[in-house]
Amino acid sequence: MGMNEALFTFSVRQADSALVLAQRLCEWCGHGPVLEEDIAMSNMGLDLIGQSRGYYSYAANIEGGGRSEDDLAFHRNEREFMNRCLVEQPNGDFGHTMMRSFFYSAFSALQHRELRSSTDETISGVAQKAWKELQYHARHTGQWIVRLGDGTEESHQRIQSSLDELWSFTEELFDTDRIDEQLVSEGIICDIGLLKPEWDVMVNDVLHAAGLVVPPKGYRSKGGMHGVHTEYLGHMLSEMQYLPRAYPDARW
C-alpha cells in the first residue's frame, strides 16, 4: 500500500473514533443529570469534534480528490466508518457514559502523547492539542467512576454492570493491522501495543479506587477499524448525517 493511502486510512480511523464518541457525548446535551455535567459532556464532545476535524481535513488533503472533511464525516456509510466499536455503544446511564469515555480517553491520551513526536507535522500538531484535552477527559470521567463505584449500593451496582458490559470492547482499542505497521516503521505513528501496560495501570488504579472488579475474559469486539460494527452505529449515523444528506446545500 502506498504511504499516502496508509496515512489516509489511519487519519480517517482516528477521526471516526473521535467523531462517533463526540456525537454520543453531544446526545446528552440538555439531558445531563446536572447543569455542570451537561456542560462537561458537551465540552468533551466539542474537543473530540476538533480532533476529528484535524484528522478529516488532513485525510481530505492527502486524498486530493475533492472530498472535504464534511464529505468524509457525513457522506460515508456505516461499513465505511472505521471507528473502534467501543465509542459507538449507546450512552446508557450517566455512569455508563463515563465508563465508555474513560476507557477511550485513557487510551487516546496515551496514543496522542506518543504521536506528538510523529515525523508527520500535521499529526504531531493534532496530537499536541489532543493530548492535553484527553488527559482532562480521563481525569474527569475517572473521578466519576471512583465516586459512583464508591457511592451508594445502587450506584456501585450500576457502574459495575457498565464495566461488565463495556470491558469486552476495550481490547479492540489496541488492535492494529498492516497499515499501522507500515506507519510505525516510518516513525509516523507509535506502536499502540506498547502502551497497553500503561493503560492497564491507569485503568486498574481507577477501578481499584472505585472498588470495581474486572470481569473474566470472554467475548471481545473486533473489526471496527475494518468497518464491521455493532448494531448501534447505523442508527447513530442516520441521525448524525440526516441533515447534510437531506439538504446537501444547507448552510448555517
Partner 1 sequence: MSDSNNWPTWEVFTQKAQGAPHEHAGNVHAPDAELALLNARDVYSRRNEAISLWVVPTESIVASTPEDVGPFFDPANDKMYRSPNFYKTPDGIKQI
CA 56 – CA 71 distance, rounded (Å): 9
Other C-beta atoms lying within 10 Å of the C-beta of residue 137: 23
Taking the complex as a whole, the smallest distance from the CB of residue 132 to partner 1 amounts, in Å, to 11
| Cβ at position 36, least distance to partner 1 in Å | 4
CA distance 131 to 89: 23
DSSP 196-218: HHHHHHHHHHHHHHTT--PPPS-
Considering the complex, state which of residue 154 and residue 231 has its C-beta at the smaller distance from partner 1. Answer: 154
The least CB distance from residue 178 to partner 1, in Å, is 40
Work out which of 50, 92, 125, 151 binds partner 1, going by CB under 8 A.
151
Q: Is 140 in the site for partner 1 (CB under 8 A)?
A: yes
154 binds partner 1 (CB under 8 A): yes
246 binds partner 1 (CB under 8 A): no
* Assigned C-alpha cell, 223: 473489526
Instruction: Compute the distance between CA of residue 135 and CA of residue 154 in angstroms, rounded to an integer.
Output: 28
Rounded Cα distance, 181 and 190, in Å: 9
Query: Residue 107's closest CA among 82, 89, 84?
Result: 84
Q: Does 50 bind partner 1 (CB under 8 A)?
A: no
Q: Which among 118-126, 141-149, 171-179, 192-200 is the span making contact with partner 1, rule CB under 8 A? A: 141-149
Residues 16-35 that bind partner 1 (CB under 8 A): 33-35
Q: Is 36 in the site for partner 1 (CB under 8 A)?
A: yes
Report the distance separating Cα 150 and Cα 168, nearest Å: 23
**Which among 88, 107, 82 is positioned nearest to 166, based on CA atoms?**
88
C-alpha cell at 144: 466519576
Assess 116 for contact with partner 1 (CB under 8 A): no
Stretch that binds partner 1, among 115-123, 135-143, 162-170, 232-240 (CB under 8 A): 135-143
Residue 39 or 194 having the CB closest to partner 1: 39
Q: Residue numbers of the site for partner 1 (CB under 8 A)? A: 33-37, 39-40, 43, 136, 139-140, 143-144, 147, 151-152, 154-155
